[in-house]
Amino acid sequence: MDTSVLIALGKLGCLGLLPKLLDDVLIAGAVMEEVGGDETYTEVERLVGRGLAHVSEVSNLELVELLSSTLGRGEAEAIALALDLDLVLLDDLKARKAARRLGVRVMGTLGVLRLLMDAGYVRESPEELCRALVGQGFWVDVGLCHKILGHDKSVRVSGS
């Protein structure tokens, strides 16, 4: 998972719900470094301490270096870790495209929130969540936010 997903979910109070959706919550070392200055860091440390998330170092450093030529280090490491997994959580469009080219399924913050809503873990309305995301500085098209979170059946959130 990349930094923006981690911080957005953390600021919404939803980070602790990720283990209910995902079998394994892996956080790349570079992502942990990037989160270090944010209040979300404490919550991430708590999840790691309880064994609900794991900080993992990347073994494929060549791939990370290649991806880092066009992406941030955290995004590059998240994608490299995800090669052995089922899914990577990314918001950045360029990073999402790179992951898909490597055959990795991708989901962003909005997709995760939609799954949490569908599972009954998040009770806020789509409007409340979109307003909270924008209020915390999360860059998102409000119409897209409402479409994804508003139970539009034409929107697929299973990762692709």
The amino acid sitting at 140 is V
In order of 29, 58, 60, 136, the CA distances from 83 in angstroms are 16, 11, 10, 31
Higher pLDDT, 141 or 155: 141
Q: How far is the C-alpha of 30 from the C-alpha of 151, rounded, in Å?
A: 34
Span 35-63, pLDDT tens digits: 987 788 999 999 999 999 999 999 999 99
Span 60-106, pLDDT tens digits: 999 999 999 999 999 999 999 999 887 999 999 999 999 999 999 99
Q: In a 10 Å sphere around its CB, with 0-12 CB exposed, 13-18 middle and 19+ buried, how is residue 123 labelled?
A: exposed
pLDDT at 157 over 70: no
What pLDDT does 37 receive? 78
Give the confidence band of 151 by pLDDT, cuts at 50, 70, 90.
low
Span 3-37, pLDDT tens digits: 999 999 999 999 999 999 888 899 999 999 999 87
Interacting residues of 49 by C-beta distance below 8 A, sequence separation 6+? none
Tell me, what DSSP letter sits at residue 23?
Answer: S
Residue 6 and residue 15 in contact, taking contact as beta carbons nearer than 8 Å: yes
Tell me what percent of the residues of the chain surpass a pLDDT of 70: 94
Domains of the chain from N-terminus onward:
3-108 (3.40.50.1010), 110-149 (no CATH)
Global pTM?
A: 0.87
